[in-house]
Amino acid sequence: MQFEHSAQLRAAYPDLVAGVVRATGITATADVAQRTASHLAGARERLAGGAESGFPEIQAWRRAYAAMGLRPTRYRCAAEALLRRLRLDGDLPRLHPLVDLCNAVSAAYAIPVAVLDLDRVDGDLVVRPARGDEEYLTFAGDTEHPDPGEVTFVDASGRAHARRWTNRQSGWSAVREGTSSVLIVAEALHSGAEADVTRLVAALLAELADGWSAATRAAVLTAAAPRFDVTAAGGAVTAAGGASTRSAGQAVSPGTR
Residue 185 belongs to some domain of the structure: yes
55 near 112, Cβ under 8 Å? no
Answer whether residue 141 is part of any domain.
no
CATH number reported for the structural domain that contains residue 74 in this entry = 3.50.40
**Residue 108 belongs to domain spanning:** 16-120+168-249
| Domain membership flag for residue 147 | no
The CA distance from 164 to 170, in Å, is: 11
How many other CB atoms sit within 10 Å of the CB of residue 165? 26
When divided into structural domains, the chain yields a total of 1
- pTM given for the model: 0.92
> What are the pLDDT digits (tens) for 147-182?
999 999 999 999 999 999 999 999 999 999 999 999
Mapping DSSP to helix (H, G, I), strand (E, B) and coil, where does residue 92 land?
A: coil
Is 192 part of any domain?
A: yes
Using 50, 70 and 90 to split pLDDT, how confident is the model at 138? very high
CA-CA-CA-CA dihedral for 16, 24, 108, 76, to nearest 10: 50
Query: Does 133 reside within a domain?
Result: no
Residue 192's alpha-carbon distances to 17, 62, 66, 146, 180, in angstroms, are 10, 17, 21, 31, 33
**pLDDT tens digits for range 184-215:** 999 999 999 999 999 999 999 999 999 999 99
256 falls within a domain? no
Taking CA atoms, 177 is separated from 98, 101, 123, 149, 252, in Å, by 10, 15, 23, 33, 11
H-helix or E-strand containing 229? Answer: strand 227-229
